[in-house]
Amino acid sequence: MIEVRELTKRFGDRIAVDGISFEVRDGCVLALVGTSGCGKSTTLRMINRLVDPSSGEVMIDGRNALDMPLEQLRLGIGYVIQGIGLFPHWTVARNVATVPRLMGWERERIEARVSELLELFQLDPGEFAGKYPSELSGGQQQRVGVARAIAAEPAVLLMDEPFGALDPITRQRLQAEFAAIQRRRRMTVILVTHDMDEAFKLADTIAVMDEGRILQIASPEELLREPRQGFVRTLVGLDDRALRILSLHTVDEIRREPTGRWEVRGETLIDRESGRAVNGLGAGDTLREAASRIIWEAVETLPVLEAGSVVGEVRADDVWAAGGRRA
Amino acid sequence: MRRGRLIGLAVALALFLALALQPGLFTPLLSLLVEPGTPLVYTRQSLIALAVWHIAVVASAEAVAVIVAVALGILVTREKGAEFMTLARMTSNLGQTFPPIAVLAMTVPLVGFGFQPTFIALAAYGLLPVFENTVAGLRGVPATTLEAARGMGMSKRAILMQVELPLAAPVILAGIRISTIINIGTATIGSTVGAKGLGEVIIAGLQAGNAAYVLQGAMLVALMAVCFDLAFRSLERRAFA
Ligand SMILES: Nc1ncnc2c1ncn2[C@@H]1O[C@H](COP(=O)(O)OP(=O)(O)OP(=O)(O)O)[C@@H](O)[C@H]1O
Ligand SMILES: [Mg+2]
């Protein structure tokens, strides 16, 4: 649990962070979003005390971060730095091993952990462990940066634009991998990002910052349904909010019992009413995907498949209702 | 590139050793410079012994210069030592701009003739390049790398030893190289106060109006400098890789 109270940072006359408060419960992800220079990185740096707050306090698991020994505090907090900051004179393996080494892990344990992490981030240890950062692509460096931050399984993780330099496909895959790791390890995460989609996808709570203040802090759905006037609306973007709301929900949530309409013939699934072959939805697909498929296929209902058999169906009206304004 | 350097080093070293151990081989060349009948090869001392002394005084002066300059460079790049920057820079600047010959003149009355005054003059003279390069090297460590190191929980000492110095090493080594090369040349003046070294050959040549001596001494010094230069450069490359 991270609690931030009235945290303020002045650089000379300039206020970079202006009395912000929030909390992140154990195992939850908070996204800090906002335009460049609004104080996101400064907020993170005050949590691991790379920057001393001008006033206010940071509590981690009930302990005041300002009272904890500096190095001990930081060893317990994973940090993905904006701009990656790999050690250029160390190999990938040595970079990832930084914190475990500082914590005095045994060699075998470190080696096993490094291999495990590299594999997790789809960097073949045989190929990449011995490489230097300058021999990696930007995206590969970024993955090593995230691997390094979580190497010692910190309870708290601060990530400053961790997936910035990636192409959309790699970014999505990494986001999904990260979400899986986060759920499994139940890390408490603060994620800084410019990318609203990333925030909606990964965060339990989103804090919108502007000029050092938090304008609104809410769940993704609440932020989409009830954004505050002004900057928050601009940032959230109202044009496609229905679709964004849909992407927060899964088919499972609105599926109905299947009717006798669907017939499995070998590999294909036939809609008896139209006589056409259809592709079923997966139970974990988002409603946004479902909506897209419904529109594309020009149908009113689609079946939900699980392990080759029909377990339910999704009706267009239900999808529209899920994404629409509530009465 | 690397091969070129190794070949260059081998050639320079071979020439140096030939000239120091078998100066007789060069008599045809040297005889072109002087009147017939003048002695061509310096024989008062063995050239190789003079070369060893030359290296000894340069190396010991460099050792002190490097320790002092690197320590100063580290000090002034620490948060708490920043205020010493001007002082440290003035000191090392003074060491470089104060003519070594004047240092000799001033130190001889204090420490006597020979090795010591030369050692002091060279140590002072060698300070500046090492100091400036240490500062430049440490300042050149990327800010993101330092932030990462701090953010990971490394202690200040660990950051210095494991991150800053290794990353600054190529630049610091370049400073040591420049300083050493300069001092190999400068050390010849030590012979004016009786320090053993290759300057002795040059000075003997000047006194006797013997150009062959002068050339011999100068070539030995120049080849020694070239050898050290090439050796240091390959070291720098290795430190960087
Ligand atoms: N060390 C510093 N000294 C002076 N001003 C600073 C310092 N660090 C940050 N600032 C200023 O504080 C403000 C907030 O900076 P911060 O790095 O937190 O922004 P950010 O939200 O992370 O921006 P970006 O999205 O571009 O990374 C900026 O105006 C910046 O110029
Ligand atoms: Mg930032």
Q: Is A94 on the interface with B (CB under 8 A)?
A: no
Q: What is the CATH number of the domain that holds A319?
A: 3.10.580.10
* CA–CA distances in Å: residue A84 to residues A139, A214, A247, B149, B168: 10, 26, 29, 11, 20
Distance from CA of B161 to the nearest CA of A (A): 13
Q: Ligand 1 pocket, A54 CB below 6 A?
A: no
pLDDT digits (tens, 9 = 90+) for A82-96: 989 999 999 999 999
Distance of residue A39 Cα from the nearest chain B Cα, in angstroms: 17
Domain range for residue A166? 2-236
Q: What is the rounded average pLDDT for all residues in chain A?
A: 93
Q: In the prediction, which pLDDT does A94 show? A: 97
- Going by CA atoms, what residue is nearest to atom 7 of ligand 1? A11
Residue A74 has pLDDT above 80, yes or no: yes
Distance of CA A262 to the CA centre of its chain: 37
pLDDT at B241: 52
Interface test with B, best of A71, A132, A192 (most B CBs within 10 A): A71
- Distance from the A240 Cα atom to the nearest Cα atom in chain B, whole angstroms: 37
pLDDT in tens, A25-73: 999 999 999 999 999 999 999 999 999 999 999 999 999 999 999 999 9
Q: Is residue A109 part of a domain?
A: yes
Q: What mean pLDDT is predicted for residues B226-237?
A: 89
Under the banding of pLDDT at 50, 70 and 90, the label for residue B92 is confident
**What is the reported pLDDT for B88?**
87
Q: Complex ipTM, two decimals?
A: 0.86
pLDDT of A259 reads: 87
Q: Look at B152 and A74 and tell me if their CB atoms are within 8 Å.
A: yes
Phi, psi dihedral angles at A263 (to 5 degrees): -125, 125
Q: Is A36 near ligand 1, meaning CB less than 6 Å away?
A: yes
Chain B CA closest to residue A78: B152
pLDDT band of residue A275 (cuts 50, 70, 90) is confident
Q: Is the CB of A39 under 6 A from ligand 1?
A: yes
Is residue A158 within 8 Å of residue A80, measured between CB atoms?
yes
Q: Is residue A242 part of a domain?
A: no
Q: Is the pTM of this model over 0.95?
A: no
Residues A48 and A161 in one domain: yes
Tell me what percent of chain A is helix, strand and coil, each rounded to the nearest 5. Answer: 40, 30, 35
Q: Chain B residue with minimal CA distance to A131?
A: B241
Chain B contact for A71 (CB, 8 A cutoff): yes
CA distance A46 to A21: 13
Q: Looking at the structure, do residues A225 and A269 belong to the same domain, yes or no?
A: no
d(CA A283, CA A270): 19
Residue A127 and residue A154 in one domain: yes
CB of A83 sitting under 6 A from ligand 1: no
Q: Which two tokens stand for residue B234?
A: 């390959």
- B92 lies in which domain range? 2-240
Say yes or no: A181 and A203 in one domain: yes
Number of domains in chain B: 1
- Given this model, what pLDDT does residue A29 score? 97
> Within 13 Å and on the Cβ side, how many CA atoms surround A141?
18
Percent of chain B beyond pLDDT 70?
Answer: 98
> How many domains does chain A divide into?
2
According to the model, what pLDDT value does residue B38 have? 84
Least confident among A200-209, A243-252, B27-36: B27-36
